[in-house]
Structure 1
């Protein structure tokens, strides 16, 4: 077969021609992954110390930092509302904190001319610390030094899980943008 033969090109590129992204999949995957991550922490066995990370918040931060501009700034409110149903904090806590986190990330995006993964991880760590600290203060329990020390494993685990969440978001993003054969 000759090099400029159209049939040889169709073998190499034909699988990508006449395909488009699924708009339903492209819009559904980020929201569904955050909602699913908000539900997941209710399944592990209860422990004496808070060890299970806030997976919904972790996925929200990962989507927002890995794919800036994909989720609107107001997405913190409805996703926080859903997380409030499962996280055990007073109702409205996740609505307020997730909305504030989305605004803070938007502020970071507009102020920094460029970002690296390390800056994203550092930003996520600061925001996670603020979220868990606010939850510790507003949970209705007595804020003591012992309860603060008990919060440290959850904080460390959540911050260390951010790269895994970012990798999962990158994989979900590739899946979200797969091309589907036009009918």
Structure 2
């Protein structure tokens, strides 16, 4: 009896079963998206007040909430280092804040392993607002009512943009696991 090529008779869904992913691509995509989020601050956006949300932080939070094992706890140091190079903040502020945020998320996940998207959004909102306020303190700027008033639109935009960023991370995660695969 003639042996048939099993790939020749696969149906539409057969290529998704028993596939092997590219381990390099699967591990590089989360890091690369967060690093590109840090580079967005270099875009020429002209505004009288800071409006650009901390995209690197929001991407880091989205990756951590959607795929907890992809971004390890120690990733706060190198990703914060990269963000410090491009954000204009004093060197070490993002290293400290990214590391503290990831340690806090890890402690929270150990205590409460179940969450919904609304809880993730609430936690991301609190963490991004705290990040912006602590970045203001660490920058050495004069803190007064006007400075804090200018911080609210950026915090509000960060809170409102998290669902969009989380959806983008989910799309990147699907691309990371589906598109590139190692052939047998």
Counterpart position of 1:180: 181
Counterpart position of 2:142: 142
* TM-score normalised over the length of structure 1: 0.91
Deviations 1:99-158 (A, max 9, x none): 000001111111114100000001111111110010111212110011100110000000
Residues 75, 99 of structure 2: 8 Å contact kept = yes
Counterpart position of 2:69: 69
1:181, distance to aligned residue in structure 2 (A): 5.2
Counterpart position of 1:162: 162
Looking at structure 2, the residues matched to 117 and 19 of structure 1 have their Cα atoms a distance apart, in angstroms, of 29
Counterpart position of 2:3: none
Looking at structure 1, the residues matched to 35 and 7 of structure 2 have their Cα atoms a distance apart, in angstroms, of 45
* TM-score normalised over the length of structure 2: 0.90
Moved segments of 4+, more than 3 Å: 6-9, 16-19
**Which stretch shifts more, 7-16 or 79-88?**
7-16
Cα 1:36–1:11 shift into 2, 3 Å: same
Gaps of 5+ in 2: 1-5
Counterpart position of 1:3: none
Residues 33, 59 of structure 1: 8 Å contact kept = yes
Q: Does 1:11 align with 2:11?
A: yes
Residues 18, 182 of structure 1: 8 Å contact kept = no
Counterpart position of 1:36: 36
Looking at structure 2, the residues matched to 45 and 8 of structure 1 have their Cα atoms a distance apart, in angstroms, of 52
Counterpart position of 2:106: 106
Residues 22, 182 of structure 2: 8 Å contact kept = no
Residues 80, 95 of structure 1: 8 Å contact kept = yes
